[in-house]
Amino acid sequence: MVEIKLSALKETKPHQYLVRFLFGGAATLLAGLVAKHFGPAVGGLFLAFPAIFPASVTLIESHEKERKGKLGYDGTGRGRMAASIDAAGAALGCLGLTGFALVLWRLLPTQNPWLVIPVATIVWVVVSFALWELRKNRLFGRHPDARSAH
């Protein structure tokens, strides 16, 4: 069951939001500059560059560690496991990302781009969520959250 936990927003400090904003902005800028200098083929690679991934998993690890620390435990191992689970989810999301790019590549030349972009986004959502659901139902093996705290 997917849940929304708004209280999690308080765990992230202002400077951590700023870091992600700067990383995101820099990654987008980099993708544009690379495409300008090396052409669309090389530039396209950077549209799927894991620019913000290191910041995200580090944040998840530190939040989990802090949470366990408040309870008097050493949360180092749990922090790493939480980051590992997030990375496994990202791997599934990458298949959705591949679907997103595939739709753009095939449909952009012939269709209205302002329709193609939402369709590609829906494909990312559907593919990613469907794979996550399959994973949750253990079709691909043991569910990763079974060994971790939520």
Partner 1 sequence: MTELVIRFLVGGLVVSLFAISGDVLRPKSFAGLFSAAPSVALATIGLTIHKEGKLYAAMEARTMILGAIAFLLYAVFASLILRRRKLSALTTSLALMPVWFGVAFGLLAVLDRVL
102-131 residues in contact with partner 1 (CB under 8 A) are 102, 104-105, 108-109, 113, 117, 120-121, 124, 128-129
For residue 82, the tally of other CB atoms under 10 A from its CB is: 24
Q: Does 31 bind partner 1 (CB under 8 A)?
A: yes
Token pair, residue 21, equals 């904003």
Single out the residue of 45, 119, 122, 134 in contact with partner 1 (rule: CB under 8 A). 45
* DSSP tag of 97: H
Token pair, residue 28, equals 């987008």
| Chain center to CA of 60 | 12
Is 65:79 a contact under the CB 8 Å cutoff?
A: yes
Q: How far is the CB of 131 from partner 1 (least distance, A)?
A: 9
Q: Does 139 bind partner 1 (CB under 8 A)?
A: no
Q: How far is the CB of 124 from partner 1 (least distance, A)?
A: 6
For the chain, the C-alpha Rg in angstroms (whole number) is 18
Longest Cα pair distance anywhere in the chain, in angstroms?
60
Q: Does 73 bind partner 1 (CB under 8 A)?
A: no
Q: Does 69 bind partner 1 (CB under 8 A)?
A: no
CA distance 97 to 91: 10
For residue 76, which of 86, 88, 67 has the smallest C-alpha distance? Answer: 67
> Looking at beta carbons only, is 70 or 142 nearer to partner 1?
142
Q: How far is the CB of 72 from partner 1 (least distance, A)?
A: 21
Single out the residue of 13, 49, 73, 134 in contact with partner 1 (rule: CB under 8 A). 49
Print the binding letters for residues 77-106 with partner 1: x by CB under 8 A, - otherwise: --xxxxxxxxxxxxxxxxxxxx-xxx-xx-
